[in-house]
Structure 1
Amino acid sequence: MQAPINIALVGNPNSGKSSLFNVLTGLNQKVSNFPGVTVDKKTGSAKISADLTANIIDLPGTYSLYPKSADEFVTYDVLINPSNEDKPDMILIIADASNLKRNLLFCSQIIDLKLPVIIGLTMMDLAKSKGVEIDINGLERELGVPVVSINPRKNKGIPALKKNIELIAEQKFGAPARDFIENEQLAPEVVKEVKKLFPASSEYAALHVAVNAEELPFLSATQKNGIRTVLQANNFNKTKVQAEEIMQRYARIKQVMKAAVVETDPLQKQLQTERIDNILLHRFWGYAILLVVMFLLFQSIFWLASYPMDLIEAGFGAVGGWLGGIMPEAWYSDLLINGIVAGLGGIAVFVPQIMILFGLITILEDSGYMARISFLTDRLMRQVGLNGKSVMPLISGVACAVPAIMATRNIENRKERLITILVTPLMSCSARLPIYTVMIALVIPSKSILGFLNLQGLVMMGLYLLGFFMALAIAAVLKWIVRIKEKSYFIMELPDYRAPRWKNVGTTMVEKAKIFITDAGKVIMVISVILWFLASYGPNERMQAVHAKYEPIIEQTTDETQKETLDREYQSEKLANSYAGILGHSIEPVIKPLGFDWKIGIALITSFAAREVFVGTMATLYSVGETPEDNDATLREKMAAATWPDDRPVYTLASGLSLMLFYAFAMQCMSTLAIVKRETKSWKMPAFQFAYMTVLAYISSLIIFQIFK
């Protein structure tokens, strides 16, 4: 059995690299970080043959070997640095056959590093639909490396690919025998001297070290000084050398295309993708369609999720009522019914909405439309100090701010990246969805406008749009505060439209539901149990005083209706004098101007661990303070019945809007603050972010409550 070999998986973005990685590695994957940087490192184990196993390293996608972002520099370091711990034994390049000319630039650069290479051609069917025929054998001869046609989506070509990997591992094939272009002739003396100072794998690798010497952390101070001397002695102009290299590569690529590629129908009709783009990217209709798509997205969350949510909510209410009827009155039954069951209900009821939201977002990504959203909004982004690449993190923020902030790594401009990080948490993430859902159901009537528009769906869409436009407004302000001067460019490939991979959509929906139930669920359950304890117990003298006040009166009362009323007052006063009640009442003066009572105050504190904890907190608090007869009531019914001491309802249109606005703007998420610190390598940015978002949330809520009360 041979020792495992290291294979670096590289390619342009949207070339099918991730699909191949998933096919080769299956479930044998793990995600970590590359040493010293916050860039995801996807690795996996693949069975190549009975005697050969490979460690596959999925490197971030890049268009050329000249890095412009943190992600691209990781790929660059793995390929150029001979002492990198992930140094590959061979390189597997994934190239999009339908855009072969553009992909061959990166392929040719990798070939000239003189490491064993295999090229996997994807999207051959799409190339054929464009009238492009590729002679695989001819392409192999021209490039001097093995070329294999593959389709990871349909598992085609994988055995042939594995056979070529096996042949290279057995040293039947070696590194490319010839250069794609004459690299040494670009700067002969420099290449020769750099190779003496640094163990480069080829003349082209030495040229790269010369071009990027000052930015390469793997060079020693002695090597950098030596290279600096060589460059000065030879009047080395790296811009001129790079330009000459690219011109020579494209000239050679033109010859390769002529020898191995035939366009059978150069005058074919305009492609379907281009025809669709004429509509979806239209200067007027494009934006109108985008608004319609977003509207349908949020309407669907209510239309499709309402039935399963009602069933789940009623089911947990019935379970609570049933347990209350069969279990004795004891602390453990109270914990089970009002702590655990109530907490579980607060988690499960929102699973349908989260699954639907992520399913629809996956359809937009898979179909190719999500990239068009970036293109459409680039002009708007630039007005506020961002660019079109900022849209993807902002849209991802609708799912979760943590991966969205990590997605800013592909923004080359440091100022635009920092501003994007600072405003992304203003996008309404899925953790806010349970809060919006409960409050909209409580204070917004479920009625139709114009006969087909659901008012609750419109309010939900309004909250998401509010987060987006507030993010733009804050970005416009930060544009003048953040003092980093750097030119910005927006270059993005628009992928062809494709039918969504329904298996992928289904898998994503299930995975996101699992993550919500396990990750968020764990936090919610722990906090629910802690809250049950805090809400059930309090200082002895206080609890004894409440007990002494009500117990004799309840025992002496014979009227069942009056006894029930007294029992409710007893439970309510017990809750008010519990540890949770004392904490809530202590902060109530600060939040009362926003229309919030002490129970909401407790939820504001607990939900800092995770916003979705708000619902579990309310479920526990309203369950603990109730009589056994109320166990089968739903959370919304309990909240709707909540009143102030003067019998005014707690949840009105004014307080409901105030609460939704507070959660729309407040930084109620420890995980997001932690990831901002990691990405910016400073506590200043998360501290500033927490401060401005909290002030914004408080002032906005105060204004909206005072207007509507």
Structure 2
Amino acid sequence: MDAPINIALVGNPNSGKSSLFNALTGLNQKVSNFPGVTVDKKTGSARISSHLQANIIDLPGTYSLYPKSADEYVTYEVLINPSHEEVPDLVVIVADAANLKRNLLFCSQIMDLKMPVVIALTMMDIARKKGIEIDLEGLESKLGVPVVAINPRKNKGLSELKKVIEQVLRDKQGVAVQDFIDNNALAPELIRDIKQYFPAKSDYAALHVAVNVDELPFLNGGQRLAIKNKLAEYKFNKTKMQAEEIMHRYGRIKTLMKATVVEADPLEKQLRSEKIDNLLLHRFWGYFILLTVLFVLFQSIFWLASYPMDAIESAFGALSGWLSTHLPDNNFTDLMVNGVLAGISGIAVFVPQIMILFGLITVLEDTGYMARISFLTDRLMRQVGLNGKSVMPLISGVACAVPAIMAARSIENRKERLITIMVTPLMSCSARLPIYTIVIALVVPDHKVLGFLSLQGLVMMGLYLLGFFMAILIAAILRLLVRMKEKSYFIMELPIYRAPRWKNVGVTMVQKAKIFVTDAGKVIMVISVILWFLASYGPPKGMQAAKAQYEAAVQAHPEQKEALDRQYQSDKLSHSYAGVLGHQIEPVIRPLGYDWKIGIALITSFAAREVFVGTMATLYSVGENPDDNDATLREKMMAARREDGSPVYTLATGLSLMIFYAFAMQCMSTLAVVRRETRSWKFPVIQLFYMTGLAYVCSFAVYQLFK
């Protein structure tokens, strides 16, 4: 069997490239970084035929062969660099049939590089709904390269695509005989001279050497100097050349489409789309609808999730009580009930909310409304030094800050990208959701506003909006402090409106729940077991003193044994290693309204915010009487008292705690990815200090105001 070949998938964003990659590779894929840059490289293996194995490389989406951002430059270098380690043996260009004119620009540029090419037309069904009919044979004849219609979401056309790929590689086809446009006419003398210094495969490749002579890593010093001298000699104007090239390409595309494509009346199509956008993007109603959508989203998280959450809580409470009653009273039982089971319950109870949140976000993405949010908020973003492209990382931050920060790579402007990275962690991610949920349930009454709105849901929405507006405020400050001057443009294509793919919504919900349970669950479980040990054992002197005091009290007042048992459990926890650590940090956090148990949770949740709930579950399980093991975590926290008998979780403490977690940088993974994206420890350190300081000051103010 021959060695695997390299097949690169390229195309415009939202053209179906990722769907094709997933369909070809299935589970045989991995994500890593391209060498030297923090841009995701998705690679996978696929069986093209019985004797042909391929490495499939999913390159970042781009609109043309003139890169503007780091991820677009990766695609450019793989295609233009003949010595690149990922140089493809064949390029599959994924083109959206419903937006063929725009997609053909990129197709024609790659064809003129004289690489083996197969064009895979996606979204043919959407094109037909829009009244577009494409003559595939005519299009293939005019372009001079194979064209295949596919639907990767439904696995249609994949067999034909594989046959065409095999045929192209076997017969060495797929390279257009003629240039799409007369590239040589754009700069004939310069192209001739460049080919003397560098063996470019085509006139168009030689032109790109001229345009990006300073950035291309495969040129040596002598080649670069000689070419730059020729550029000066011919007074080469790359901007003028690019504009002329694009004009010629669109002229040829227009002629080609007249011969091979029948389109519906564009006015009718425009009117249908505009009617919806005139409402959703309206200067007033657009923002009102956006707030309504967010309001419904957060109301749904509480309303829909309350039933399964209550059932899960009750089930774990009952199981804990049953195990305590039926298992022998020893350290192993204590570990299983108060360490392992308490940790698992702290994970499982929030799975319904995680699933509902991601399900609703997927619906917004699938319908095309998420892109409208970017467009709608561009004006607000520009006033604070960002643009509409910053909205997508911020919205993604509602799920998780790590991929959201990586999504900022699509922002071409370096200053706007840096500011976006610095403020994205202020968005309330899904890891904060368990904390908000349990604290809101403790301190905010389950009242109805106007008879049907959940007060708890309104508070939840307020926390998410608070994170967004704080991100905007910090961005405005950073705009003044970050000294970079670079022009910024916001150009984006609004996807068509369509019904959500409910199967995709369901799959996403299950996947996100699995990620939460496995990734966050591992951390929570490990920390829960460690905490059980720290809360169950302590310095011998303190633990022996607590035991001696308990035994003396029982001997003196045997009728009060139940109350003394409770006191002993509390004293043991207070004298344990966890208690000693908590009491040491308590003076620092007391002005915020926190006791030493909350202090321990603040420390452990730095590994991952959601660990807060697991920590509370362990501490309150270890510190309680075994007879109370069937109580839920909420009931235990509600019953918690300070030394003076006052409740720990008052409205002031609850609000202070939610504000702290809304602003604090309690996530090692986020700091690590900021370090990777900025290639410096400077920015994550700044982020850690400014967010922690902001959280402390705001929490202090809220507690002092409400206590």
Which bin holds the TM-score, normalised by the shorter protein? over 0.9
Q: Is the 8 A contact 2:130 2:269 kept in 1?
A: no
Q: Aligned with 2:179: secondary structure?
A: coil
* Cα distance between partner residues in 2 of 1:432 and 1:333: 31
Cα distance, 1:555 vs structure 2: 4.0
2:178 — aligned with what? Answer: 178
Paired residue for 2:475?
475
In 2, the alpha carbon distance for the partners of 1:501 and 1:123 equals: 14
Question: Which position in structure 1 is the counterpart of 2:41?
Answer: 41
Alignment match, 1:190: 190
Q: Does 359-368 or 230-239 show the bigger shift?
A: 230-239
Provide, for residues 468-517 of structure 1, a one-character-per-residue CA deviation record: whole Å limited to 9, x for no partner: 00000000110100000000000101000111111211111111111111
How far off its partner does 1:646 sit? 0.4
Q: Residue 571 of structure 1 contacts residue 625 of structure 1 at CA under 8 Å; is this kept in 2?
A: yes
The aligned residue for residue 665 of structure 2 is: 667
Q: Which moved more, 1:218-227 or 1:661-670?
A: 218-227
Q: 1:199, 1:678 → 2: CA distance? A: 36
Which amino acid counterpart does residue 339 of structure 2 have in structure 1? Answer: G
- Residue of structure 1 equivalent to 2:213: 213
| 2:112 is the counterpart of 1:105 | no
Instruction: Summarize the Cα distance change of 1:267–1:359 in structure 2 as closer, same or farther, 3 Å threshold.
Output: closer
The residue correspondences of 1:623-642 to structure 2 (distance < 5 A) are: 623-642=621-640
User: 2:534: which partner in 1?
Assistant: 534
Work out whether 1:295 is the aligned partner of 2:295: yes
> Are the aligned partners of 1:130 and 1:271 in contact in 2 as well (CA < 8 Å)?
no
Superposed counterparts of 1:33-112, under 5 Å: 33-112=33-112
Partner of 2:640: helix, strand, or coil? coil
- Who is 2:610 aligned against? 612
Distance 1:351 1:269, change over 3 A: closer
Q: Indicate if the aligned counterparts of 2:124 and 2:149 stay in contact, CA closer than 8 A.
A: yes
Q: CA deviation at 1:270?
A: 4.5
Q: For each residue in 1:404-443, what CA deviation from the matched residue of structure 2 results, as whole angstroms up to 9, or x when unmatched?
A: 0000000000000000000000000000000000000000
Alignment of 1:394-433 (within 5 A): 394-433=394-433
Residue 601 of structure 2 aligns with which residue?
603
Q: Which position in structure 2 is the counterpart of 1:248?
A: 248
Aligned-partner residue type, residue 243 of structure 1: A
| Cα distance change, pair 643–157 in 1 and its aligned pair in 2 (3 A) | same
Aligned to 2:650: 652
Aligned pairs, number:
707
Match runs of 1:247-396 below 5 Å: 247-266=247-266, 268=268, 270=270, 272-396=272-396
The CA distance in 1 between the partners of 2:274 and 2:130, in whole Å, is 12
Query: Any gaps of 5 or more consecutive residues in structure 1?
Result: none
Take 1:389 and 1:610, find their aligned partners in 2: how far apart are those partners? Answer: 28
Letter of the aligned partner of 1:636 in structure 2? R
> Partner of 1:215: helix, strand, or coil?
coil
Contact 1:94 1:120 in 2 (8 A): yes
Q: Is the 8 A contact 1:10 1:60 kept in 2?
A: yes
Query: 2:118–2:174: 8 Å Cα contact kept in structure 1?
Result: no
Question: Cα–Cα, structure 1 residues 365 and 267, in superposed 2: closer, same or farther, change >3 Å?
Answer: closer
1:622 matched to 2:620: yes
Counterparts of 1:250 and 1:337, CA distance in 2: 69
Task: Answer whether contact 1:9 1:93 (CA < 8 A) is retained.
Answer: yes
SS of the aligned residue for 1:214 comes to: coil
Instruction: Give 1:114's aligned residue.
Output: 114
For structure 2, the 5+ residue unaligned runs are none
Q: Is the Cα contact below 8 Å between 1:116 and 1:175 reproduced in 2?
A: yes
Instruction: State the match for 2:566 in structure 1.
Output: 568
Task: Determine if the alignment matches structure 1 residue 705 to structure 2 residue 698.
Answer: no
Cα distance, 1:552 vs structure 2: 2.6
Task: Give the superposition deviation at 1:193.
Answer: 2.1
CA distance in 1 between partners of 2:445 and 2:199 (Å): 72
User: SS of 1:374's equivalent?
Assistant: helix
Q: What is aligned with 2:577?
A: 579
Q: Does structure 1 retain, via aligned residues, the 8 Å contact 2:145–2:174?
A: no
Contact 2:119 2:146 in 1 (8 A): yes
Q: Per the alignment, in what secondary structure is the counterpart of residue 91 of structure 2?
A: strand
Per-residue CA shift, 1:135-162, capped at 9, x if unaligned? 1111111111111111222222222211
* Residue in 2 that maps onto 1:434: 434
What residue in structure 2 maps to residue 454 of structure 1?
Answer: 454
Give aligned-pair identity as a percent. Answer: 75
Change (3 A) 1:151 1:174: closer
Taking the aligned partners of 2:411 and 2:25, their CA distance within structure 1 comes to 29
Report the Cα offset of residue 302 of structure 1. 0.6
Q: Does the residue aligned with 1:514 lie in a helix, a strand or coil?
A: helix
Give, as a single letter, the amino acid of the residue that structure 1 aligns with 2:506.
Answer: G
CA contact (8 A) 1:642 1:649 kept: yes
User: Contact (CA 8 Å) 2:394, 2:424: kept in 1 or not?
Assistant: yes
Letter in 1 for 2:650: T
Amino acid at match of 1:553: A
List 4+ stretches of structure 1 deviating above 6 A.
Answer: none
Are 2:214 and 2:224, in contact at CA under 8 Å, matched by a contact in 1? Answer: yes
